[in-house]
């Protein structure tokens, strides 16, 4: 195998894969992006639709002379390119990360030419995804997270495909356009079969077997993809991979569609509670855990109610459901039962003949217990869409919108942003691929709220003011006004608790720091930060527009110490401070505008 970088000396244009920078600001966020991209790709490639996929992560240090020699040999032909790209060449063997999936198809398609298969899409295509249907990732850029996780920007992959008896081995480095001697070379290089100018993988059995041995791969005869990230960044650690799995993929894990193993720790439907407790994680509250498990048991049954097709063009009301059916749902909801309602949907794809498709979403609602934090879950395929869940939040109710039928998953996937956290009615793919897509999406977003209005709003509640217009209530005598300078406040009240954090302003941003007076026992601590540019009149947060800035889109630099953070809205950042010496610094805002920052614990 040898390293090959294309000569672009005569290319009149200049192109760089600058999108890779989106993963370089924060290693903990990088670990989460790594988990999300891996599991999306793996669940997309499941052999059996709706079957269980197994994903393995392992952080390994070369322990044998053979293993150390192999990883050092990768640098033999790559070192000049690293140096020319301004990347330090490692001087000693370092850790590597192994990622494998099982019960998947592997990278299908041609290996020696461009086509629409996954092999070409993964190794040779950037910025345009070949994924269709219910596939989770569609942007053709998420895979850059793998090379971004390596100090030498390198990835090696071995795939056994369902349609090919041979195993394919190949590597890739994504650097910068660089010059060696008088030759200008492309940023993308391939570790490939010698003598090829198109970056072809090797299928030589002995070499593939040797690689599997030195990398400690578990794949034997199973189809799927094994990735090795050599010289993995030091802050990608086992605990972050586990936390990201618990936080992002609890739904497919709890519904037995996914099993994840991290350095021998198996996260599945049976072990989820224990692993979460061991990590001290609050990625999913116990009440939501119970709700998801009950939801899973209900899904094996028929829906209680299937909405009439007219709901797609009219508000869901008791009249639309029929008074008898609406009364039954209210009674069941009042009794604390979980409701399972199916909403049929007609969607029309512009490029498909016949154009119409019949699909559906499933809606689940259950009243929450007094004092219990209610949560709303939005799922598309195997992906949770967290910002949509927060927007759809219902008071005193656990709720879920599940869209895992292939057609609706494809539709909603075209509406998703690159981070797969929310939907956009004006998304280009939604506009290009679907007739009236914005109107369909608007009805989907409204479904949970309208059902909740029908079943919950007429539940009997104690209302002391209900008959105030019919009965006379004696007016209380006004209290005598206290003399000036006096107060009826008790002097023995305890002082208010100090906020456990403080905001320090700086040019173009802010720093979130701990309050030194707060005891270490107060941590870990969750903090929600909102930002907006100040305005002359009105509330700056209500007048915020993502044209101002966006944590999802703009290059806002986030640096942290002893804290995790992730964006949940264009102007909102959730922070989990792990200890009393945490620090989160965010810069990159317009320094010519006044930034308003609000934080709540």
What is the rounded CA–CA span in Å between residue 572 and residue 549? 11
Query: Could you tell me the two tokens for 100?
Result: 């494998």
Given this model, what pLDDT does residue 487 score? Answer: 57
Contact 104, 53 (CB under 8 A): yes
Listing from the earlier edge strand, what are the strands of the sheet with 572-577? 563-569, 572-577, 525-533, 595-600
The more confidently predicted of residues 315 and 462 is: 315
Contact 454, 318 (CB under 8 A): yes
Q: Report the percentage of the chain scoring pLDDT > 70.
A: 85
Query: Could you tell me the two tokens for 418?
Result: 């690159």
Examine the pLDDT at 300 and tell me if it is beyond 70: yes
What is the rounded CA–CA span in Å between residue 383 and residue 247? 11
Angle at 340 between CA 338 and CA 343, to 5 degrees: 150
Phi, psi (degrees; rounded to nearest 5) at 585: -120, 130
Cα distances (angstroms) measured from residue 497 to each of 464, 487, 493, 517, 599: 33, 22, 12, 10, 16
Examine the pLDDT at 139 and tell me if it is beyond 50: no
Element (H, E) at 388: helix 386-391
- The three-class DSSP label of residue 448 is helix
Given this model, what pLDDT does residue 213 score? Answer: 92
Given this model, what pLDDT does residue 284 score? Answer: 66
Q: Are β-strands 397-403 and 376-380 bridged in parallel, bridged antiparallel, or unpaired?
A: parallel
pTM above 0.85, yes or no: no
Given this model, what pLDDT does residue 560 score? Answer: 86
> Of 275, 263, 266, whose CA–CA distance to 59 is shortest?
263
Element (H, E) at 31: helix 27-44
Examine the pLDDT at 194 and tell me if it is beyond 50: yes
Phi, psi (degrees; rounded to nearest 5) at 408: -75, -30
- What per-residue string of b and e applies to 214-228 under the rule 16 or more CB within 10 Å gives b? bbebebeebbbbbbb
Cα distances (angstroms) measured from residue 191 to each of 61, 157, 210, 232, 523: 22, 10, 16, 18, 46
- The three-class DSSP label of residue 48 is coil
Examine the pLDDT at 511 and tell me if it is beyond 90: yes
201-244 confidence digits (pLDDT tens): 999 999 999 999 999 999 988 999 999 999 999 878 998 899 88
Examine the pLDDT at 140 and tell me if it is beyond 60: no
Given this model, what pLDDT does residue 356 score? Answer: 65
Given this model, what pLDDT does residue 72 score? Answer: 85
DSSP code at position 362 = E
* pLDDT band at 594; cut points 50, 70, 90: very high
- The three-class DSSP label of residue 543 is coil
Query: Could you tell me the two tokens for 590?
Result: 């317009």
Q: What DSSP assignment string belongs to 285-352?
A: -HHHHHHHHHHHHHHTS--SEE--GGGGGS---HHHH-HHHHHHHHHHHHTTPPEEEEEEEEEEBTT-
Segment among 14-28, 139-153, 525-539 with least mean pLDDT? 14-28
DSSP code at position 19 = G
Q: Quote the strand ranges of 161-289, DSSP E.
A: 167-174, 178-180, 183-192, 224-230, 258-262, 265-267
Examine the pLDDT at 23 and tell me if it is beyond 60: no
Examine the pLDDT at 317 and tell me if it is beyond 80: yes
Given this model, what pLDDT does residue 344 score? Answer: 96
Residue 194 buriedness (CB in 10 A; 0-12 / 13-18 / 19+): exposed
* pLDDT band at 74; cut points 50, 70, 90: confident
Examine the pLDDT at 475 and tell me if it is beyond 80: no
Winning range, highest mean pLDDT, from 21-35, 75-89, 279-293, 446-460: 75-89
Mean pLDDT over 460-474 rounds to: 50
Listing from the earlier edge strand, what are the strands of the sheet with 557-561? 501-506, 509-514, 583-587, 557-561
Mean pLDDT score of the chain: 84
The more confidently predicted of residues 468 and 556 is: 556
Given this model, what pLDDT does residue 158 score? Answer: 95
First to last CA, the chain: 54
Phi, psi (degrees; rounded to nearest 5) at 118: -70, -30
The more confidently predicted of residues 40 and 475 is: 40
Largest Cα–Cα distance of the chain, in whole Å?
Answer: 97
Domain boundaries, the chain: 2-236, 238-284, 292-456, 501-600
Contact 409, 380 (CB under 8 A): yes
Q: Is 509 left (phi over 0), alpha (psi -120 to 50) or beta?
A: left
- The three-class DSSP label of residue 468 is coil
Q: Are β-strands 376-380 and 356-367 bridged in parallel, bridged antiparallel, or unpaired?
A: unpaired
Angle at 236 between CA 240 and CA 22, to 5 degrees: 100
Examine the pLDDT at 180 and tell me if it is beyond 60: yes
Q: Report the percentage of the chain scoring pLDDT > 90.
A: 42
Phi, psi (degrees; rounded to nearest 5) at 229: -105, 100
Mean pLDDT over 90-105 rounds to: 88
Mean pLDDT over 127-137 rounds to: 48
Q: What is the CA radius of gyration of the chain?
A: 28
HSE-CB of 596 using CA atoms within 13 angstroms: 13
529-563 confidence digits (pLDDT tens): 999 999 888 889 988 887 888 887 667 888 888 88
385-441 confidence digits (pLDDT tens): 888 988 888 888 999 999 989 899 889 988 987 667 889 888 888 999 999 999 999
Q: Is the peptide bond before 524 cis (omega within 30 degrees of 0)?
A: yes
Mean pLDDT over 580-585 rounds to: 91
Examine the pLDDT at 342 and tell me if it is beyond 70: yes
DSSP code at position 104 = B
């Amino acid at each position: 195998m040898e390293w090959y970088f294309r000569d672009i000396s005569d290319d009149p244009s200049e192109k760089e894969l600058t999108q890779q920078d989106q993963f370089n600001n924060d290693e903990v966020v990088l670990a989460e992006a790594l988990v999300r991209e891996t599991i999306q790709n793996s669940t997309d490639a499941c052999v059996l639709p709706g079957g269980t996929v197994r994903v393995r992560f392992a952080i390994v240090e070369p322990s044998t002379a053979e293993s150390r020699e192999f990883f050092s040999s990768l640098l033999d032909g790559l070192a000049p390119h690293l140096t020319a790209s301004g990347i330090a060449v490692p001087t000693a063997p370092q850790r590597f990360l192994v990622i494998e999936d099982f019960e998947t198809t592997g990278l299908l398609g041609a290996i020696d030419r461009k086509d629409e298969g996954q092999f070409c899409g993964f190794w040779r295509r950037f910025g345009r995804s070949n994924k269709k249907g219910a596939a989770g990732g569609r942007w053709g850029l998420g895979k850059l997270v793998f090379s971004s996780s390596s100090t030498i920007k390198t990835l090696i992959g071995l795939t056994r495909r369902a349609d090919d008896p041979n195993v394919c081995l190949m590597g890739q480095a994504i650097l910068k356009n660089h010059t060696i001697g008088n030759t200008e070379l492309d940023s993308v290089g391939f570790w490939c079969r010698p003598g090829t100018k198109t970056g072809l993988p090797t299928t030589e059995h002995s070499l593939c077997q040797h690689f599997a041995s030195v990398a400690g791969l578990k794949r034997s005869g199973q189809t799927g993809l094994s990735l090795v990230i050599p010289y993995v960044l030091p802050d990608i650690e086992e605990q972050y991979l586990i936390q990201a799995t618990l936080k992002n993929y609890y739904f497919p894990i709890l519904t037995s569609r996914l099993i994840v193993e991290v350095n021998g720790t198996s996260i599945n439907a049976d072990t989820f509670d224990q692993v979460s407790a061991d990590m001290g994680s609050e990625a999913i509250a116990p009440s939501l855990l119970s709700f998801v498990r009950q939801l899973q048991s209900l899904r094996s049954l028929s829906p209680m109610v299937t909405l009439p097709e007219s709901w797609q063009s009219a508000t869901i009301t008791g009249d639309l459901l029929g008074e008898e059916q609406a009364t039954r749902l209210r009674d069941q909801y009042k009794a604390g039962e979980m409701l399972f309602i199916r909403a049929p949907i007609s969607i029309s794809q512009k490029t498909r003949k016949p154009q119409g498709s019949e699909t559906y979403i499933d809606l689940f609602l259950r009243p929450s217990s007094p004092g219990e934090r209610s949560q709303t879950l939005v799922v598309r395929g195997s992906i949770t869409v967290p910002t949509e869940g927060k927007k759809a939040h219902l008071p005193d109710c656990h709720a879920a919108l599940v869209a895992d039928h292939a057609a609706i998953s494809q539709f909603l996937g075209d509406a998703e942003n690159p981070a797969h956290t929310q939907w956009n009615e004006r998304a280009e793919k939604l506009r290009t691929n679907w007739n009236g897509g914005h109107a369909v999406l608007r009805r989907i977003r409204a479904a949970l709220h309208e059902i909740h209005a029908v079943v919950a709003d007429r539940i009997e509640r104690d209302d002391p003011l209900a008959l105030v217009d019919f009965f006379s209530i004696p007016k209380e005598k006004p209290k005598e006004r206290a003399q000036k300078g006096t107060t009826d406040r008790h002097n023995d009240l305890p002082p208010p608790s100090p906020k456990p954090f403080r905001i320090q302003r700086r040019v173009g941003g802010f720093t979130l720091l701990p309050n030194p007076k707060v005891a270490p026992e107060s941590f870990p601590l969750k903090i929600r930060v909102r930002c907006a540019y100040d305005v002359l009149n009105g509330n700056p947060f209500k007048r915020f527009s993502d044209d101002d800035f966006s944590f999802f889109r703009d290059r806002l630099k986030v640096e942290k110490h002893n804290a995790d953070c992730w964006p949940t809205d264009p102007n909102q950042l959730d922070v989990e401070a792990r200890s009393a010496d945490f620090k989160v610094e965010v810069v990159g805002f317009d320094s010519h505008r006044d930034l308003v920052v609000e934080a709540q614990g």
